[in-house]
Structure 1
Amino acid sequence: MPIDVESKLLIVDDLPENLLALEALIRGPGRPVYQASSAEQALALLLEHEFALAILDVQMPGMNGFELAEMMRGTERTRHIPIIFVSAAGREMNYAFKGYESGAVDFLQKPLDAQTVSSKVSVFVDLYRHRKALKHEIDALAVSHRRQEALVQQLQCTQRELERAVRMRDDFMSMVSHELRTPLNTLYLETQVRKLHLSKNNMAPFAPDRLPAMIERDQRQIQNMVRLIDDMLDVTRMRSGALSIQPRPVDLAQLARGVVESLAQQAEAVGPPIRFEAPAGVPGVWDEFRIEQVLTNLITNALRYGAGKQVEVSVRQEGGRARMSVSDQGPGIAAEDHARIFEQFERTDDSRRQAPGLGLGLYIARQIVRSHGGEIDLASAPGQGAAFSVILPLSAETPAA
């Protein structure tokens, strides 16, 4: 159905009485008529308005109707306007043939027949309105198509995210099962062996000099399970925004020294002692437990992947910030993995081969540091070790975790 659109009509004749008579024949609701007494005036109107039809007198002083039509056909803006020529010249002048050559759609002889003129104009007005309606529908379809394409892309993106989430869930469950099974299996085997000794009344394995090593093995396996469970709980708290940060005055140098001393035995088991460097004190306001958790994670990783070489820990104050750095001389981390390893369940291929784990430690560490208003930087390249730096404001800003 044609849309309700104004259909402008252009009439061009050098005689005012002809313009008045023609306008009286063709005017009607929704079809304003514009008059031009010369080709020059017509061109000015054509530049200003969009017309549904142009009715041109052939014989005009200066530029005649045929020349005006040729100019209209040579311009992109006006080439599609239907043209009807009118002329008082006799048929022997062969004007009709020349008019059609100029691009006219019809040719009328004066004196004009009112009914013929009115019906022809109505046909072209209806065609114009149908063309406008079709363009409107095409434009609407194009907009709808673009929206559908955008929706399809959005759905595809959502599908990829869901598929990734499912893979992460499956990988997570697989890793958790594996990581928890290892210490549980060790404990189970230990208890079975002890049960066997007791059934045979063999008390030698329970001698006082062997009990400390037995207890230490049990504690290590239990601590591994507790660490895994704590990591999973921390991730859950972070996702729900419920990670608790409780800042209080802390000496960062003293805190770091305590962590290094607590890991001294673990360091000696794999290589040289940890090299620690810190000033007398770096006071600030942080959550002591959480910052200790971050530093423990970084040092443990350095010992685990540092290839048995020197691990260095330093603490210093830089203006209004504190910096903790942990560096190792391990295989290093490729640049393309720097951002990825801070995401959940992400690990490099080398780290996955070297040691078990869920790939949550660095993610948790970064979230804790960010919850203090700080950030973690990584400087590393393959074959050049890795240096993690924790930069903290001296007073925790504690944005939403």
Structure 2
Amino acid sequence: MLSHTTAKLLIVDDLPENLLALAALIHGDDREVHEAQSAEAALTLLLEHEFALAILDVQMPGMNGFELAELMRGTEKTRNIPIVFVSAAGREMNYAFKGYESGAVDFLHKPLDTQAVKSKVSVFVDLYRQRKVLDRQLQAIERSRQEQALLLDQLQVARGELEHAVRMRDDFMSIVAHEVRTPLNGLILETQLRKMHLARGNHAAFSPEKLKAMVERDERQINSLIRLIEDMLDVSRIRTGKLSLRPKAFDLGQLVRALVENFEAQATALGTHIELQACEALQGEWDEFRIEQVLANLLSNALRYGNRKPVRVRVFEQAGLAWVQVQDQGIGISAVNQQRIFQQFERVASQQSSAGLGLGLYISEQIVHAHGGRIQVQSEEGKGATFTLQLPLAGEIEQNDQLRATSA
């Protein structure tokens, strides 16, 4: 590594023949010698280059060697350059003492001792090259420290994400266990009750009317389990980019009208109803099953959290988009919760029933985004909520990075 470092040497003397002789004496393949015939010319070179050593003649016209050395020591860039003075004056002039006071590391008298000059210059060149190697090592250590600090930050972020993922997994498993247990418990109790009736020979418990009621209860519990399983499967498909979309032409208004009719029985059971305030015929190319899934989720939520007040639905075209608005008059959603409800496993706490995994709106938003549309909510606490679905009428499905339509 040392052999790859070129050392620059500066020699300053007002006599060209002295410069020529000194340059020939100290030159080498690993050195680059720069010459100056005045202190002013030397200052220019000092500002342009990084020198391993400066050899200065003491007696020069204008600014002498001592004055140049003082300027060098007062400048940040040249402060640490080793200085060797050369003088033809006799030793009785006591120049050496003044030179050391000016910051010199050595003082040479003319005529120069060739071997001594070569040896001294070689020492300073080696010291310079060793210092450069050390500087590079220190820089490498600092880069390594910064990289380690960055890696540590990344590891801390990854740790936080992992801890969050673990909490989400634990919360998810807790929610799944709770939600699956409810329909299963119903089915188990029904089964045990029927076994008891059969064991006692109580065939009256299986009259057509009672049997019909049993089958309807079983169907509700089984449908609840199917819904939970489908939600979990949809999340898995979304994460792996395998949620397929099968667009085809259909009338969005007709789909909404049919859904409203299907939900009337549920609304009646809750003591309310659904008002279809506007329903334009809007033809487009979308995945009918997935859009129905989104709208069914919005209607179900509106009835669940609507305080048994009418739910209003509107279907219309605006700005080249198909709009579907579902408005309830229930508990409303705070600004903070509006940011959360489209995330996985998030549900708004309320006194109303909140069965489910908290995946409905997350899945709905991903489906709508895959269609190149968007879903929004406007709400205030205690003043109900309006969910708006917007779909491009052109029917071009824009895929995002995390959710891609794949062939069936």
Q: What TM-score, normalized to structure 2?
A: 0.92
Query: In the alignment, what sits opposite 1:267?
Result: 267
* Pairwise CA distance, 1:227: 0.9
AA aligned to 2:361 is L
AA aligned to 2:92 is E
Tell me the distance in 2 between the aligned counterparts of 1:367 and 1:281. 25
Report if the CA contact (8 A) 2:257-2:279 is conserved.
no
* Pairwise CA distance, 1:351: 4.9
Query: In the alignment, what sits opposite 1:219?
Result: 219
* Pairwise CA distance, 1:212: 4.0
Tell me the distance in 2 between the aligned counterparts of 1:314 and 1:20. 97
Report if the CA contact (8 A) 2:323-2:389 is conserved.
yes
Q: Percent identity?
A: 62
Report if the CA contact (8 A) 2:280-2:315 is conserved.
no
Query: In the alignment, what sits opposite 2:364?
Result: 365
* Pairwise CA distance, 1:139: 1.1
Q: Map 1:303-322; keep pairs closer than 5 Å.
A: 303-322=303-322
Query: In the alignment, what sits opposite 1:392?
Result: 391
Report if the CA contact (8 A) 2:86-2:108 is conserved.
yes
Q: Map 1:150-299; keep pairs closer than 5 Å.
A: 150-299=150-299
Counterpart secondary structure, 1:309:
coil
Report if the CA contact (8 A) 2:83-2:104 is conserved.
yes
* Pairwise CA distance, 1:232: 1.6
Tell me the distance in 2 between the aligned counterparts of 1:200 and 1:267. 39
* Pairwise CA distance, 1:114: 1.2
Counterpart secondary structure, 1:35:
strand
- Deviation per CA, 1:146-201: give whole Å up to 9, x if none: 22222223333333333333332332222222211111111221222233233334
Query: In the alignment, what sits opposite 1:125?
Result: 125
Tell me the distance in 1 between the aligned counterparts of 2:36 and 2:5. 23
* Pairwise CA distance, 1:10: 0.6
- Deviation per CA, 1:67-93: give whole Å up to 9, x if none: 111111121111111111111222332
Query: In the alignment, what sits opposite 1:140?
Result: 140
Report if the CA contact (8 A) 1:3-1:133 is conserved.
no
Report if the CA contact (8 A) 2:273-2:309 is conserved.
no
Report if the CA contact (8 A) 1:286-1:395 is conserved.
no
Cα pair distance change 1:4/1:215, threshold 3 Å = same
AA aligned to 1:364 is I
* Pairwise CA distance, 1:330: 2.7
AA aligned to 1:289 is F
AA aligned to 1:181 is R
Tell me the distance in 2 between the aligned counterparts of 1:244 and 1:29. 70
Report if the CA contact (8 A) 2:371-2:391 is conserved.
yes
Alignment: residue pair count: 400
Tell me the distance in 1 between the aligned counterparts of 2:378 and 2:94. 89
Tell me the distance in 1 between the aligned counterparts of 2:280 and 2:345. 38
Answer yes or no: is 1:341 the counterpart of 2:341: yes
Report if the CA contact (8 A) 1:371-1:397 is conserved.
no
Query: In the alignment, what sits opposite 2:324?
Result: 324
- Deviation per CA, 1:309-363: give whole Å up to 9, x if none: 3322211111321011112233322323333322222233x15984222111111
- Deviation per CA, 1:116-142: give whole Å up to 9, x if none: 111111111111001100011111112
Counterpart secondary structure, 1:257:
helix
Tell me the distance in 2 between the aligned counterparts of 1:154 and 1:123. 46
AA aligned to 1:13 is D
Report if the CA contact (8 A) 2:326-2:386 is conserved.
yes
Cα pair distance change 1:3/1:308, threshold 3 Å = farther
Tell me the distance in 1 between the aligned counterparts of 2:351 and 2:122. 80
Counterpart secondary structure, 2:31:
coil
